[in-house]
Amino acid sequence: MEGSLKDLSDYRLERAKEDLDRAKREFEFGDYKLAQNRSYYAVFHAMRAVNALDDYDSKKHSGVISHFNHEHVKNGDFPKEVSKMIKGAMEVRQQSDYDDFYVVSREFAEKQLQNVEYIINLIDDYLKTK
């Protein structure tokens, strides 16, 4: 049985919220690298929730981000600062996943979590109107 695009969007937003909760737990445990990873995936799934309503998805992270920015940030659904926050989250996630000696400070991880929570709240509010 297939669901609607709204069902898919709701599912992806729920995944985003679960990843955000996991990021917060990892932050509290002091695992800032994993907190960065989970916070990025929270944003990633939230963007995919918005993109689902456009009947768009991509196997590439860059495709998901590009569509979201072009269709929803550029068109004014979300403030332009969101695009910069997303780019920063992706860069940090890549560094913490692939750079052997990358160190994440508590302060930096906390700021990243605040940004991600802000974005997810914006997306949640946006999706409530759809």
Residues near 68 by beta carbon (within 8 Å), at least 6 away in sequence: 47, 50, 51, 86
Condensed to tens digits (0 to 9), the pLDDT of residues 18-40 reads: 999 999 999 999 999 999 999 99
The pLDDT score that the predictor gives to residue 31 is 95
Q: What is the rounded CA–CA span in Å between residue 34 and residue 50?
A: 25
CB 10 within 8 A of CB 49: yes
CATH number of the domain at 5-128, please? Answer: 1.20.120.330
The whole-number pLDDT of residue 2 equals: 64
Contact 64, 57 (CB under 8 A): yes
Q: Confirm if 119 and 85 have CB atoms less than 8 A apart.
A: yes
**73-113 pLDDT tens trace:** 999 999 999 999 999 999 999 998 899 898 889 999 999 99
pLDDT > 50? residue 1: no
On whether the CB atoms of residues 43 and 117 are closer than 8 A, the answer is no
